[in-house]
Chain A
Amino acid sequence: MASFEYTIKRLMHARPAARLVDFANKNKEAVIWFTKDGTKTKCEGIMNLMYSGWKEGDSLTIEIKGSGDTQIADELKQLLEEIL
């Protein structure tokens, strides 16, 4: 399992949610979880991600389980920097 912390820079919107779903679909061999204040959200469906209500300053713990988890974590980190 790989995990890292990320502080959100922008309000969660449809576009980043779509990019995350897209990312999860491309990395089906692993499961990605976001945890914010004890609430876990699976990186899977767009609806959950959209109404996660994440906004600037929120800090997330991201956990990735499955094969290639460290590489997926690196890629996800990059994606998050770009979109959220």
Chain B
Amino acid sequence: MTVLKGRGVFGGIAFGVLKAFKRDYFGINSEKIYVSDHQNEIEKFKYAKDLAIKQLDNLYNEALEEVGEEHAMIFQVHRMMIEDIEYANSIISIIINENANAEYAIWLTSRNFERSFEAMESDYMQQRAVDVRDVSKRIVSCINNLSDEHGFSGRRSIIIGADDLTPSEVLELNRKVVKGFVTMLGSENSHTSILARAMGIPCVIGLGEQLRPEFEKCEAIIDSFAGAVYISPDRVTVKRLKKKKELCEQRAEFLNNFKGKEDVTLDGQKIELCANIGNVTDLGGIIESDARGVGLFRSEFIFMGRSDYPTEDEQFKIYKKLAQKLEGKHAIIRTLDVGADKKIDYFNLPYEVNPAIGYRAIRICLDRIAIFKTQIRAILRASAFGNIKILFPMIISLDEVLKIKQILNEVKHNLIQEEIEFDKNIKIGIMIETPAAVMISDILAKEVDFFNIGTNDLIQYTLAVDRQNDKINFLYNPRHIAILRMIKIVCDNAKKNNVRVGICGEIAADETLIETFLAMGIDELSMSSAFILSIRKRVREIDVKTIKDKILKEL
């Protein structure tokens, strides 16, 4: 048994076989073999082609159920690539003209098509070369009768090992078989980690060189409470962790008793515990955890994992579903927050030395107004179907808020003219996640209905600590007095102006800070739904009036 030490992200235990995450791996034997029986090679290719099409159809159907049409679409594109007449003709003519084996003909054809894509101007199209390679690899796998390694099929539990994973790669993991993941790099505060928490995937990150290729296909256990990964665990360890997993499940069951209970302290102070989500499929977790609503819907995930901008209608359908499924509970939809560590190919964002303080979020939206207006229209249209609020990220000035309100009013005006229904009194709010916004929160409070304090970025900007930088992770301190004072300032300015104030960063679920937040009078805490019941339990044990003065004096 080998024990690897890293940092756990989401408290959980997972068992599975370790498999390396394959990103750009060709795996086709390009060796040319002289074959005189053309017909046999062509038959081989045709057989594999049919099999690959069947696989892709199955993948499409499974993905459709699991992740929705926009993510499933890629499998249809792959199918069309296989069925492309020029692609097939090229393979057949290489078999005949070069007396080559089918595998070689596929490899050469793939390489030629890949090069055509790579030569294209757009970055997006250049990357489609990967799709051609993927498709070609699939056909060769079918010839070799190899099982589909990437795929949604397969029954064994898997733990993915990788240097690092991007947020969209995490989003696309097949949850039926992938029980957890481990990475060499990574930071607890990156979006990858946030997403893993939101999806409830146990993972251990920052393993560095300890994670070695020879562990491929070894049995492994992740204990992300302890930040440990056990490779080829001995029987005692397996037994111990099975027990731990059971206890974990029992605690979850105990916490179920808090479903349906109010979020109220012993002395009657109320606070709403809501969930952060990035996807309508996460709504299951909200019902499971009995959240009071969606405190943060990260709309950028609608834009990720696809090849082109979602249309107004596509967005509308998602927001409408969100509104309807919540049955009157509120949903705060944050407009597009891309840039920084959330890159999307088709946005063609230029390379930046300092993306966290660069071209991102509202800055992109106020520059590319068509994208922004499309999203606002979709959100407004959906507001006719439930309790939707709209939230704008990365605000630093009053000017921005006024511009946003002007755009919002234009869109509203158009909808009225077109006689399309929407909630005319839709509540608007802003993220308070820059020190600038904190310092002018008294001014901003006059313009909006609610504040959401985004502590992840606020901490990074206030402490000048890059949250992705592993080396200075110890400096990323959510309990820093500067941060707590900032939250207090925002809270006081909000109260003075009758503005609701919530926290939607990761610290909303920090049990050690709940008393502080209650003392300040925070109205709403929004977190990964997995934490809601345990925070509710904690809230219900607190008597605010006895601790309030002492806590506020210390700030």
Which A residues touch B131, using CB under 8 A? 14
Segment of A26-34, A41-49, A58-66, A70-78 engaged in the interface with chain B = A41-49
Which residues B77-119 have CB closer than 8 A to chain A? Answer: 77, 80-81, 83-87, 113, 116-117
Known interface pairs A14-B307, A51-B116, A51-B117. Does A46 touch B124 (Cβ–Cβ under 8 Å)? no
Contact B121 A45 (CB under 8 A): no
Q: B416 to chain A: which residues have CB within 8 Å?
A: none
Q: State whether the Cβ of A15 lies closer than 8 Å to any Cβ in chain B.
A: yes
B77 touches A47 (CB 8 A): no
B122 within 8 A of A: yes
A18 close to B (CB within 8 Å) = yes
**A73 shortest CB reach to chain B, Å:** 23
Interchain nearest-CB distance for A53 vs B (Å): 6
**What residues of A have a CB within 8 angstroms of the CB of B84 in the complex?**
45-48
State the CA gap A21–B74 with chains docked (Å): 14
Q: Is A40 an interface residue (CB 8 A)?
A: no
- Whether B124 and A13, one on each chain, are in contact in the complex, defined by CB atoms closer than 8 angstroms, is yes
B73 within 8 A of A: yes
The answer to whether A14 touches B85, judged by C-beta atoms less than 8 angstroms apart, is no
**Of A18, A47, A50, A53, which contacts B76 at CB under 8 A?**
A18
B28 lies within 8 A of chain A by Cβ: no
Known: A44-B85, A50-B128. Contact between A11 and B73, CB under 8 A? no
Q: Which chain B residue has the least Cβ–Cβ distance from A47?
A: B84
Select from chain B the residue with minimum beta-carbon distance to A55. Answer: B122
Give the interface size bracket for A toward B: 20 to 34
Q: Is B125 an interface residue (CB 8 A)?
A: yes
Q: List the B side residues contacting A17 at CB < 8 Å.
A: 77, 80
* Contact (Cβ within 8 A) B113 A53: no
State whether A48 touches B122 (Cβ < 8 A): no
Across the interface, do A14 and B77 meet the contact criterion of CB distance under 8 Å? yes
Contact call B308/A47, Cβ cutoff below 8 A: no
Q: Are A53 and B124 in contact (CB under 8 A)?
A: no
Q: In whole angstroms, how far apart are the Cα atoms of A44 and B85 in the complex?
A: 8
B247 contacts the other chain (CB 8 A): no
Give every chain B residue within 8 A of A11 (Cβ-Cβ): 122, 124, 346
Counting CB contacts under 8 A, is B120 at the interface? yes
- In the complex, the answer to whether A14 meets B86 with C-beta atoms within 8 Å is no
Contact check, B85 vs A53: say whether CB atoms are below 8 A apart: no
Task: Report the Cα distance A21→B311, complex, angstroms.
Answer: 20
Asked whether A36 is an interface residue with its Cβ less than 8 Å from the other chain, the reply is no
Which one, B81, B122, B306, B346, contacts A47 given CB within 8 A?
A: B81
Q: Which of A10, A13, A21, A55 contacts B80 (CB 8 A)?
A: A21
Q: Are B73 and A50 in contact (CB under 8 A)?
A: no
Chain A residues with CB below 8 A from B122, complex form? 11, 53, 55
Chain A residues with CB under 8 A of B77: 14-15, 17-18, 46
Interface string of B430-455 (1 = CB under 8 A from A): 00000000000000000000000000
- Chain B positions within 8 Å of A14 at CB level: 73-74, 77, 128, 131, 307-308
Q: How far, in angstroms, from A82 to B311 measured CA to CA in the complex?
A: 9
Which residues of the other chain, B, contact A13 by a CB distance below 8 angstroms?
Answer: 124, 307-308, 346
Nearest chain A CB to B113's CB is how many angstroms away?
Answer: 6
Write out, one digit per residue, whether chain A residues 1-32 have a CB within 8 A of any chain B CB (1) or not (0): 00000000011111111100110000000000
Query: When the two chains form their complex, are residues A53 and B80 in contact, meaning their CB atoms are under 8 A apart?
Result: no
Instruction: Give chain B nearest CB distance to A23 CB in angstroms.
Output: 12
Shortest beta-carbon distance, B238 to chain A, in Å?
45
Establish whether residues B87 and A47, one from each chain, have CB atoms under 8 Å apart when the complex forms.
yes
Complex alpha-carbon distance, A11 and B126, angstroms: 13
Q: Would you call B113 and A47 a contact (CB within 8 A)?
A: yes
Q: CA–CA, A44 to B81, complex, Å? A: 11
State the Cβ distance, A51 to closest chain B Cβ, in Å: 5
Q: What are the interface flags for B54-88 relative to A under an 8 Å C-beta threshold, 1 for contact and 0 otherwise?
A: 00000000000000000001101100110111110
Closest to A13 in B: B308
Instruction: Kindly identify which residue among A12, A15, A53, A82 contacts B73, using a CB–CB cutoff of 8 Å.
Output: A15
Min CB–CB distance B141 → chain A (angstroms): 20
A45 touches B86 (CB 8 A): yes
Residues in chain B near residue A15, CB distance under 8 A: 73, 77, 306-308
In angstroms, Cα B77 to Cα A21, docked, is: 10
Contact B124 A18 (CB under 8 A): no
Contact A48 B120 (CB under 8 A): no
Q: Which of A10, A14, A53, A82 has the most chain B CB within a 10 Å cutoff?
A: A14
**23 A–B contacts, CB within 8 A, in A order:** A10-B308, A11-B124, A14-B74, A14-B307, A15-B73, A15-B306, A16-B308, A18-B73, A45-B80, A45-B83, A46-B77, A47-B81, A47-B87, A47-B113, A47-B116, A48-B86, A50-B117, A50-B125, A51-B116, A51-B117, A53-B122, A53-B125, A55-B122
Starting from the known contacts A47-B84, A53-B125, 9 additional A-B residue pairs (CB-CB under 8 Å) come to A13-B346, A14-B77, A15-B73, A22-B80, A45-B83, A45-B86, A46-B83, A47-B86, A53-B122
Residue numbers of B with Cβ under 8 A of A are: 73-74, 76-77, 80-81, 83-87, 113, 116-117, 120-122, 124-125, 128, 131-132, 306-309, 311, 346
A-B pairs, top 3 by smallest CB distance, nearest first, are A45-B84, A46-B80, A13-B308
A residues whose Cβ falls under 8 Å from a Cβ of B? 10-18, 21-22, 44-48, 50-51, 53, 55, 82
